[in-house]
């Protein structure tokens, strides 16, 4: 696979033209206000399955958007003394939370790891669907309810992410020895967009605070460019949708998607972040990642530390274990472990 985007020297300063709705902050404040009309209702139970003697594993359920039940795993080391830092991880497109044995890396590193299922994309978390009038969409989730920001799928999914951060803060009251001052949000691809949203909403005071963000090859950043240039992944769903609709649908589609654009959330973030980008990524073109990275924290009173790992010969898989090692070093310095 060849390089598919701008040269690296151009990417380092690339911002692009990213639309931002005038009521962006008010929209998300209202969205979270509606979400909080339902109790968080966190429930923990020991997870079934093969024993993992070195770990404590809980099946977690909590109320997301409109009170809908969201599933998660909480995996943490059994022997380490607390309070432990919490890493809240969000998942890539079409992935479910899988099994606890799939998610032991962060617990091995000494974290309480809250792995959050994505509504409609995992077996354990349904998405009741767009409200009446949500319109039609093509395959996948990208255009589900896109006719209106109020009905858009990602409005619900982002609200779930904000609630997941609140779950991390609620764990001490449930007898889990963690440190709410050291909550980190993380994810790759779609999960990277979710981490940016959680960090941005935290920076705006809309949800519980986070201490740092790990953002790998994030999706849903500079969305218009992603749709125009990405040959693979979910962005072509939007192309398929617009091909089937009238030209008037184009403006509304991108207006709706501007409310979930990770570049707009990145600008509002106020905590340190480590990004990664892959220069041969056909799913999240590098310019879309740099558009978010170069805006990160620019609206904070004091711009936070932000770094980016550039994987020159990687595709959408990014830096793999090498990036995880960088993340661990990054967090060790921040969290004074």
What residues are annotated to the active site? 189, 281, 316
Q: Count Cβ atoms within 10 A of the Cβ of residue 95 and give its class: 0-12 exposed, 13-18 middle, 19 or more buried.
A: middle
Give backbone dihedrals phi and psi of 140, rounded to 5 degrees, phi first.
80, -155
Cα–Cα distance, 127 to 123 (Å, whole number) = 10
Which residues lie below 8 Å from residue 170, measured CB to CB, with a gap of 6+?
40, 42
DSSP label at 315?
Answer: -
Rounded CA separation 37/328 (Å): 37
- Yes or no: say if 118 and 96 are a contact pair by the CB < 8 Å rule: yes
Half-sphere exposure of 210 (CA within 13 A, CB side): 38
DSSP for 22-47 reads TTHHHHHHHHHHHHTTS----EEEEP
CB 88 within 8 A of CB 201: no
β-strands 69-77, 84-90: how paired? unpaired
Q: Cα angle vertex 140, ends 135, 142, to 5°?
A: 65
Preceding peptide of 83 cis, ω within 30°: yes
Q: Which two tokens stand for residue 174?
A: 């449930």
């Amino acid at each position: 696979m060849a390089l598919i985007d701008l040269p690296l020297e151009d990417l380092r300063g690339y911002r692009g033209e990213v639309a931002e709705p005038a009521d962006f902050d008010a929209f998300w404040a209202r969205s979270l206000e509606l979400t909080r009309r339902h109790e968080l209702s966190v429930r923990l139970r020991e997870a079934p399955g093969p024993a993992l003697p070195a770990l404590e594993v809980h099946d977690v359920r909590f109320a997301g958007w409109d009170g809908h039940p969201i599933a998660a795993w909480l995996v943490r080391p059994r022997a380490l003394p607390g309070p432990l830092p919490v890493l809240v991880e969000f998942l890539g497109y079409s992935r479910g939370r899988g099994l606890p044995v799939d998610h032991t890396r962060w617990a091995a590193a000494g974290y309480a790891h809250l792995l959050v299922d994505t509504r409609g994309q995992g077996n354990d978390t349904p998405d009741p669907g767009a409200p009446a009038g949500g319109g039609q969409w093509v395959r996948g989730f990208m255009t589900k309810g896109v006719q209106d920001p109020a009905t858009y799928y990602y409005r619900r999914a982002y609200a779930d992410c904000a609630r997941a951060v609140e779950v991390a803060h609620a764990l001490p009251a449930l007898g889990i020895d963690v440190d709410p001052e050291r909550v980190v949000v993380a994810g790759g691809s779609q999960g990277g967009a979710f981490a940016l949203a959680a960090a941005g909403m935290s920076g705006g005071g809309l949800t519980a605070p986070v201490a740092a963000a790990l953002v790998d090859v994030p999706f849903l950043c500079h969305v218009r460019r992603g749709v125009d240039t990405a040959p693979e992944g979910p962005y072509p769903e939007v192309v398929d949708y617009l091909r089937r609709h009238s030209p008037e649908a184009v403006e509304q589609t991108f207006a709706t998607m501007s409310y979930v654009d990770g570049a707009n959330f990145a600008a509002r973030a106020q905590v340190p972040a480590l990004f990664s980008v892959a220069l041969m990524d056909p799913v999240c073109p590098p310019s879309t990642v740099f558009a978010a990275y170069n805006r990160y924290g620019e609206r904070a009173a004091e711009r936070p530390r932000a770094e980016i790992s550039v994987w020159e010969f990687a595709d959408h898989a990014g830096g793999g274990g090498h990036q995880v090692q960088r993340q661990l070093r990054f967090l060790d310095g921040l969290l004074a472990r």
